[in-house]
Amino acid sequence: MDIYLMGYMGSGKTTIGQRLAKQIGYTFVDYDQFIVEKEKMSIPAIFESKGEIYFRKKEALYLKEILQETNTKKIVALGGGTPCYGSNLQEIKESGVLSIYLNVPVPELTDRLWEAKSERPVIAGQESKEALEEFVRKHLFERAFYYNQAGKVIKVQGQSEAAIVEEIVAALF
């Protein structure tokens, strides 16, 4: 069974996904990188040149494509907004994959994102850490409805990456 990791940007989907895939012998797919390869441009460049609506349409199209690809067992680290737009969450739920929400507290997300905000078009304009935290809090409140529909919720509160992976593995086997 394929595993799709979801959660807010900075929640560790890629890092945990890579470690989990290595541990259980699955292929790892970073969904944002998958889109970059398909579109032949970075996510920020897509947002800047073609807009968010274009990006979300392509995101939905490629999600259907990757959900239908069943010849390898894979861990997919979704983009933070992927399950929150259009029928994406429904597509994920109906596909038979296991979805896992990495639920990270707002202060921890803010700390992680503050260091990497220039690489993330959605938050690049936040001028202070306090403004970023307020943005994350509001945005996460809006998205929590979608994230909490995952098949499994993992509370991430300071435990090591290895401990998070072990918690997921214990839930799988």
Q: Does the annotation flag 27 for ligand binding? A: no
Stretch (H or E) spanning 53: helix 52-68
Report residue 135: phi and psi, to 5°. Answer: -60, -50
DSSP symbol at 131: H
3-state secondary structure of 79: coil
Q: Is 19 annotated as a binding residue?
A: no
Residue 7 annotated in ligand binding: no
- Return the C-alpha torsion angle 58, 60, 61, 62, nearest 10: 90
- Please tell me whether 56 is known to bind a ligand: yes
Whether 151 has a binding-site annotation, put simply, is no
96 is in an annotated binding site: no
- Residue 82 assigned ligand-binding role: no
86 is in an annotated binding site: no
112 carries a ligand binding annotation: no
Count the neighbouring beta carbons within 10 Å of the beta carbon of residue 20: 23
Determine if residue 137 is labeled as part of a ligand binding site.
Answer: no
Binding positions for ATP: 10-15, 120, 159
Binding positions: 10-15, 32, 56, 80, 120, 143, 159
Binding positions for substrate: 32, 56, 80, 143
Binding positions for Mg(2+): 14
